[in-house]
Each structure stands twice: as C-alpha cells, then as structure tokens.
Structure 1
C-alpha cells in the first residue's frame, strides 16, 4: 500500500517512505531542527535507529521522507501505532506548506490504521508548530519537562536504605531491569514494550552508560534502577529511565540511585545531568527537591479523528 497524502506535495519536493539506512540522514534533519529551536542537539543517532526498528512500525506505510530538488532530506514524518505522530521540517524549508502537508498525511495514515485519535509532542518554544496544530483542531493534554542539574563539584551519594545494596549495572542485569522498568511504567504507558524494543532504546544503544546506571537490590531481587546514556558532543549525561518497584517506593531508593548516577557522570567529566518527566507521573516536585530545574517544556497535543 503506497503512502498517500490528501493534497498535492508542494512544488519542488518529492517523497518516499523511510528505510533503516536513512537513520543518519534523519538524525541530521532532527539535529538541525533542535539546533535552530534550542541552540543544541539532544537526540542521538541511536534513538533514531531504535525508532525505525520499533515493532508495529511499518516503514513502507507509516513513514514519509521529503527531499528537495537537490536530493536533500528536508522533512520527515511517521505515525507510531496509529496514535502518535512525529514531524520535523528543516528550518530552511519552513513556511512552504510542508508541515501542513505532513500533518494531513499523518492524520490520514492514522485513520487508515483504525485509530480514533492522533497526538503529537511539540516544544513549547515552537510557536509555528503549536499554531498549526491548534488550527487543525488539536488541544493540549500532557506537559513534559526537560530537567537539568548542574554538578560543579562531585555529588555526594547517601547511604542506601536499610536492607538495600546499590551497584552499577552489569552484564546479565538486562532482563531484570526490563521487567522492573516496564512494570513501573505500566501506570502511564499505553502498551508494554517487548524486551527487544526496550533494549534497543536502552541497554543496546551505543551511548548506554552502565557505570552511570545504578541498580538497587533487596537480597538478590532488583527493586530499583536508573538507566543512563551519554550525550555525545556535550558535557552532559542523560537519564533515560528511573524506576523503583511499587513495594519499595517512598524509602529514598530513587534519590540514592539518582545521586549515584550524578556522581558517576561527574567522575567521567560531565558537569550537567538531564532527564525528561511529564505531568501524568507527578514526579516533578521530587526531582526539584533533588536540585533539578526546568530547562524547557513540551506539550502533547491531541485530536479526535472521528468524522474525518
């Protein structure tokens, strides 16, 4: 089934579906967009590779790349699971109707897959994208925050709670960490990831940082974990997952693990550590008590597709 959009692509551009070999080119596009909007690049190539290999993402029909007449990639879109869209347009090609065209395509693709709603996350600094979504009937429903903590001196790690031991991530911890983090995120995520999908986004990434990924144990059972990645080209570390087993929460385990990760990154030369959280978790005050502050925010906008 070919990719179809409801209107003609703006003149001078051509489109095709993405393939796995496009990952580096897509990353360059995403990096250009982030650099223009935030003055820095946050997405690493491994995240793009993992997204393209997501189960349920049919590259032939769920993705679209737009190239200009010189063959340069200038825009991309994909629809994950029929429910979540990602769209980027190169700063040098905005204002030409590409974003509107890709949004129409994403809605059509979501309808074709049987979805009744489509959502997209947009930086709160991207006024043009917000105006486009609102003009198409989208409304906000979840806020996300990128938090950061400066580490000019080496952080101090508190003693773990009684009966808990903490150590860095080791080979062989993968399955336990998978079960722990997926159980913890079941409260908020729409579906449970398979092990292979989870691993591609965490422990199998080239930037995975095991030394800055501490795990907490009660006896032989993993009851908490922080999974971290390096941020290439910066002096920052990034925390991908924070999870504590339900029956061990409110004991100070998460705070201990985060301080352990901060210290490890500091010892490796990173002077800032970042992570994302969102309004549905209620975790923002916890991170702020640890000294993290909001660097920027994004909002998830959604729209019902019934009647389209």
Structure 2
C-alpha cells in the first residue's frame, strides 16, 4: 500500500492499476494543456510502462480520488532518482501537489535513493511549487517539432551505409547502441533488454517499421531510432535516437532524423516531434534539421536525506 497522504476533506488515495491509464493520461493532458498549450502525453505511453511484467505499479504509484469518485491526481516513483506527478488543473491550490511531492520524496528515501527528481514546464504551477518546496534545478529540457508542411531536409548517408526496419536479429545491437549512448550522460542503471524492448514493441499500436537501424558496409548496426505515432497518427514522435560512439561525426544522426521524418510522414504523420535536454548537448543538431522549440521544461530534484 502506498504511503499515506495528507489530503483535503473529501479526497482519498489508492494504488493505481493498469486500467487507470486512460484517466491518468487525461489528468496529465489537462495539466499539459493548461501549462504549455498542448497535450503531449498518450495513454499508450503509460500502458507501455505500466504493463511491464517486472514493474509493480501498485507499489510505485498513488492515485488521488476526488469527491466525485474520479481520479484527479497521481504520483509515481519510477525508481532510482526518477518520479512523476500530475494534478488536474481543476484541483490545483488545495495542497494535493504538496502532498504528492512529499510522497515521492518519502518513497525514494524508503528505496534508499539519495535524491529524486521530476520534470515540469518552466514557470508552471508545478515548477513554482517544487521551487518553493526546495527542489533544485538539475537540467533543462525542450520539446521540439518539425512543423506540419515543413520540408524534410536531405541528409545523405555515407557510402556503404543504409537505414532499414530492424529485425528481431537486430534488437540486441540496437539496444546496445541506444543504452551505451544514453548512459554517457544519464546517471542510472542500464535498462534490461527485455524491459527496453517491452517499452517499444509492447507499446499499443507498435509496428515493426517504428524501430529502425542504420548499418555500415559490413552490415553492423551503428545507429538506431524509435518512432511512435501520437495524436491519432498525426504526429511522429522520435522517442529514441542514438549513434555508436565510433561512428559519430559522419552525419548519421541527421540522416537518421531525416529518414525518420519521412517514414513517419509516409505512415500518416503530418509533423514530427522529439524532446532533448541540456545533458545531451544535442539541441543544435535538431535545429539543424529544421526543428523548432515548442516548450521548455526543467527537471527539479531534492535530496531525500535532507
């Protein structure tokens, strides 16, 4: 059972179950719409994470039920130093966010994590609340978009290289490329292969073309990109992109991005999006292929032993 919350009169708490994904996505979307003018969260994002057989959702989450009997807020301690929380805008200003921030901190402390953080849009009510509670900025992040109608840039591959749909035989190599790249700047444990694949192939609506790899002249996987369709298929979201360390500086990342934009468009998307943060140093790469920043976010964290 999740740790107890101090909630306003008429509100109660309970652990979440997979069937709550649609309602929590609605809560998160409402808050995103109020904060940044658009909703980026998809129910499929939650289902992919929560349905992992190795993930104990009930132990890692808490939902807040409002007087009407409907979920109006939630928090989730994902593990290590990662958490997330959201309160429907109709229920702001009642102390629910403060209670969830305390719950996240206590959950992380109980798990032995020295600190815990979560993302919020810059200047949003959540950002201001965490700031007031003493949560410090760790890094900034940005959502970017190749807008509808934008010309997809031409970015040719080096001679001998090709981009194609990944096969099952490519999965481990793609995982290795992506995890090696992300762990260069992310302080976390390596995501197990089975978990990594579940987050991709286990996402509702996944099709094989959405996991793509670049190979060199010898057929070795040297880069990978993951594309999800969102907003009822109108958006091609670049969830992951990485190039093997010894293959960088050859234009592979830009070529992979341009190919991903075109592939998403061929499957019905009218725009492409992704997110990046200040730890990667990749913002200029995305701007070079025509993407523009649509929202600014900040990751704030607090020590659990302070």
Alignment-derived partner of residue 162 in structure 2: 165
Structure 1: gaps spanning 5 or more residues: none
Return the alpha-carbon distance in structure 2 between the equivalents of residues 20 and 266 of structure 1. Answer: 31
Return the alpha-carbon distance in structure 2 between the equivalents of residues 213 and 195 of structure 1. Answer: 14
Question: Equivalent residue of 2:201, what SS?
Answer: coil
Question: Equivalent residue of 2:48, what SS?
Answer: helix
- The reply on whether 1:98 has 2:71 as its aligned counterpart is no
Alignment-derived partner of residue 203 in structure 1: 201
TM-score computed with the length of structure 2 as normaliser: 0.91
Closer/same/farther in 2, CA of residues 184 and 115 from structure 1, 3 Å limit = same
Return the alpha-carbon distance in structure 2 between the equivalents of residues 209 and 61 of structure 1. Answer: 31
Question: Equivalent residue of 1:251, what SS?
Answer: coil
Whether the aligned pair in 1 keeps the contact of 2:48 and 2:200 (CA below 8 Å) is no
Alignment-derived partner of residue 20 in structure 1: 18
Q: CA RMSD, aligned part only?
A: 2.1
Whether the aligned pair in 2 keeps the contact of 1:151 and 1:266 (CA below 8 Å) is no
Alignment-derived partner of residue 152 in structure 2: 155
In terms of mean alpha carbon deviation, does 204-213 or 285-294 score higher?
Answer: 204-213
Return the alpha-carbon distance in structure 2 between the equivalents of residues 188 and 58 of structure 1. Answer: 27
Return the alpha-carbon distance in structure 1 between the equivalents of residues 137 and 197 of structure 2. Answer: 30
In terms of mean alpha carbon deviation, does 17-26 or 162-171 score higher?
Answer: 162-171
Return the alpha-carbon distance in structure 1 between the equivalents of residues 29 and 21 of structure 2. Answer: 12
Structure 2: gaps spanning 5 or more residues: none
Closer/same/farther in 2, CA of residues 57 and 108 from structure 1, 3 Å limit = farther
Return the alpha-carbon distance in structure 2 between the equivalents of residues 23 and 264 of structure 1. Answer: 28
From 130, 143, 160, the equivalent of 1:133 is 130
Return the alpha-carbon distance in structure 1 between the equivalents of residues 148 and 169 of structure 2. Answer: 30
- The reply on whether 1:38 has 2:41 as its aligned counterpart is no
Alignment of 1:1-308 (within 5 A): 2-5=1-4, 8-53=6-51, 57-126=55-124, 128-152=125-149, 155-189=152-186, 190-208=188-206, 210-211=208-209, 213-218=211-216, 219-233=218-232, 235-307=234-306
Closer/same/farther in 2, CA of residues 55 and 180 from structure 1, 3 Å limit = farther
